[in-house]
């Protein structure tokens, strides 16, 4: 394996339950660890090993679930180790077939009432906060917790603000919320500690649609400011006005 600099974390292989293994590229979220996880997951899908039933990513890890009758832990660990050693995954290209989504969002107003609080936590005026959040091109770092729900990052350092300790009782579907240099776009109404700074009309999960999930891990997203009236008009569109272009 190539020489690893002191600053780069070393990938770690751990077991998950009885029939899973996890390859983690860091113990906390970082841009390189997320890129490595996405690239390694894509490589695993490409390898398509016998006995592997499912692969997925979380923020900094790739997960493998396997059939105990066709593969054992020692063999899988050896295969994962060999694949890890093939290259520097922290420097790997992002997987192909990624798209750039532009999603209309209302920042602030009664539709997204915590914009002032979030701006203050980041030390900005509301106008600066809207400019910063809508200028950022963030990547789907992972999809999880609820169907189709993306964790988007990484925002500029100034957005390294904590989640609230007091939970918001109910954040609506399509809400755009900010904390810890990330945005979460909520696919279901739920209680949360993230701050509700924007509101979209996008539906991230449509179980009966030909493509049930709007976003894929690795996609990039930029939020375009619109007025509440404009957003109301977009609610008739299941995509809520979201438009995609292919990234090469």
Partner 1 sequence: MTGTLTVLRAGPGVTIQDDGRPGWLEYGVSRGGAADRLALAEGAALLGQGGELAVVEMVGMGGEFQADSDLRIALTGAPMRASIEGGAVAWNASHLLPAGARLVIGAAQSGSYGYLHVGGGFQTPEHLGARSAHLAAGIGTLLAEGDVLETGPDSGRTTGLGLAPENRFEGGTVRVVASLQTALFPQAELTRFEQTAFRRGARGNRMGVPMESDGEGFRPDGARTVVSEVIVPGDIQVTGDGTPYVLLAENQTTGGYPRIGTVVPCDLPLLAQAAAGAELHFRFIPLEEAVELERAEAERREGLRSQCFPLIRDPRSMSNLLSYQLISGVIAGEEDVL
Interface residues toward partner 1, by CB under 8 A: 14-20, 22, 24, 26-29, 41, 53-61, 63, 65, 68-69, 72-73, 142-149, 151, 187-188, 205, 207-208, 212-213, 217
Query: Which residue number, 124 or 146, has a Cβ lying nearer to partner 1?
Result: 146
Kindly write down the DSSP assignment for every residue of 71-86, as one continuous string.
--HHHHHHHHHHHHHT
**98 touches 219 (CB < 8 A):** yes
Q: Contact, 97 vs 211, CB < 8 A?
A: no
58 vs 200 by CB, closer to partner 1: 58
Query: In terms of residues, how long is the chain?
Result: 248
* CA–CA gap between residue 189 and residue 186 (Å, rounded): 7
How far apart, in whole angstroms, are the C-alpha atoms of residue 175 and residue 189?
8
CB 158, min distance to partner 1, A? 21
**Contact, 10 vs 4, CB < 8 A?**
yes
In the complex, the smallest distance separating the C-beta of residue 210 from partner 1, rounded to whole angstroms, is: 12
Instruction: Closer to partner 1 by CB, 211 or 245: give it.
Output: 211
Taking the complex as a whole, the smallest distance from the CB of residue 128 to partner 1 amounts, in Å, to: 29
Closest distance of CB 70 from partner 1, Å: 11
- The candidate with the shortest Cα–Cα distance to 105, out of 4, 240, 247, is 240
Token pair 């209680």 is found at 191
Least CB distance to partner 1 at residue 150 (A): 9
Report the residue number, 23 or 122, with the smaller CB distance to partner 1.
23
Closer residue to partner 1 in complex, CB, 110/208: 208
């Amino acid at each position: 394996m190539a020489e690893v600099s002191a600053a780069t974390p070393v990938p770690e292989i751990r077991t998950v339950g009885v029939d899973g293994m996890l390859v983690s590229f860091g113990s906390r979220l970082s841009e390189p660890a997320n890129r490595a996880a996405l690239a390694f997951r894509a490589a695993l899908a490409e390898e398509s090993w016998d006995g592997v039933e499912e692969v997925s990513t979380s923020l900094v890890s790739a997960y493998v679930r396997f059939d105990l009758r066709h593969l054992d832990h020692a063999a899988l660990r050896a295969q994962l180790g060999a694949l890890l050693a093939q290259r520097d995954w922290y420097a790997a290209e992002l997987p192909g077939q990624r798209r750039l989504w532009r999603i209309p969002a209302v920042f602030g107003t009664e539709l997204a009432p915590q914009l002032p609080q979030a701006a203050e936590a980041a030390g900005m005026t509301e106008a600066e906060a809207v400019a910063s959040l809508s200028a950022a091109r963030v990547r789907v770092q992972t999809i999880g917790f609820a169907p189709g729900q993306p964790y988007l990052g990484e925002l500029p350092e100034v957005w390294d603000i904590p989640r609230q300790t007091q939970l918001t009782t109910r954040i609506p579907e399509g809400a755009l919320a900010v904390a810890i240099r990330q945005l979460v776009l909520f696919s279901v109404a739920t209680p949360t500690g993230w701050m509700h700074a924007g509101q979209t009309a996008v539906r991230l999960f449509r179980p009966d649609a030909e493509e049930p999930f709007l976003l894929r891990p690795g996609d990039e997203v930029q939020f375009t400011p619109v007025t509440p009236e404009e957003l109301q008009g977009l609610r008739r569109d299941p995509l809520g006005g979201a438009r995609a272009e292919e990234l090469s």
